[in-house]
Amino acid sequence: MKINRLSDLADAALCRRLVVKVGSSLLVGKDGVRRVWLEGLVAELADARARGQEVIVVSSGAIALGAAKLGLDKGGRGSLADAQAAAAVGQIALSGLWAELLGAHGVTAAQLLLTLEDLEDRRRYLNATATLTRLLDAGAVPVINENDSVATQEIRFGDNDRLAARVAQAAQVNAVLLLSDVDGLFDRNPAEPGAKLLPEVRGVTAEVHAMATGGSSSGMGSGGMTSKLQAAEIAERAGIALAIASGLHEAPIARATADGIGTLFLPRRKDAGRKGWLGGRLRLKGALVIDASGSRESSSAAMPWRSAAMRVKLWPTAWPNTMRSNARG
């Protein structure tokens, strides 16, 4: 049985293991933590566990919370040093908040802070998988965030949408729910007249990417629709369904699953094991270069690549995102 609609995310038989991502703009408002809203969301997570689902939370908010405590401008994102300092202060408050609210429902919270390298390195990726599996088996709810206090611009996810998708891969979940400040993916800017919400997407194509806008609308987080589509690409390679739904309302999970308001990205393939891990990597360290004659020969040969003239190039640093997407094809 496969997930085919948003309501399936609330069905323990179809979605035994679920990742829920919460963005900064949902968790933190102008006056601080949106505690009443968060209490409602935690109650929904407790309900999911009661019906037999295992839940992982990917929570932003550390930088926003820390910036408020330290009095930093621009929400703590004025510089890398500000962001790192804000994250170090805010993560304590964030983890304590989740532990308190989950504990009120008799649920144990566990904190994991991950960097890009933790999931790009195969051995560390498998260690993360083992830790997540053991925590879920023990009945805990892992609460995960990027370790922004040590991450740099060159080696960071930069948004928790893609982190959520990679965690979903590592934990072998059935679905990811990205709670956002919009209802889902629209066929154009949702502020434009006539914009239509797309209830379902089968495969993230160039046309789908063209519908997205890049930045966070709140100015508080670091993600936007572009990062969510990149997360959907990671998830679909691993056979994981991914949904985008608004978290601005009370009981946002029920609104998405019961009322069917959101966008569901359905996977087209399922790359397991090492192949899935490789497909979800965000940093490439090399390229396969084929010269012009080799390209012509390989395209017409019965045995592709046999006649092609090839060489391998390795880079010490990450590829730009545009080169990464072009290389994946």
- The string of pLDDT tens digits covering residues 20-63 is 999 999 999 988 999 999 999 999 999 999 999 999 999 999 99
Q: How far is it, in rounded angstroms, from Cα 57 to Cα 171?
A: 12
pLDDT at residue 228, rounded to an integer: 94
Looking at domain 6-279, its CATH architecture is 3-Layer(aba) Sandwich (3.40)
The residue to which tokens 């293991």 are assigned: 17
322 pLDDT more than 70? no
pLDDT at residue 212, rounded to an integer: 79
DSSP per residue, 38-86:
HHHHHHHHHHHHHTT-EEEEEE--HHHHHHHHHT-GGGGTSSHHHHHHH
105, two tokens: 């429902």
109, two tokens: 């919270």
pLDDT at residue 184, rounded to an integer: 95
Rg over alpha carbons for the chain, rounded to the nearest Å, is 20
- Domain assignments of the chain as residue spans, ordered by start: 6-279, 286-328
Query: DSSP alpha helices (H): ranges in the chain?
Result: 24-27, 35-50, 62-70, 80-103, 116-120, 122-137, 160-171, 206-209, 225-237, 252-257, 273-279, 292-300, 321-328
User: Which pTM value belongs to this model?
Assistant: 0.82
pLDDT at residue 326, rounded to an integer: 36
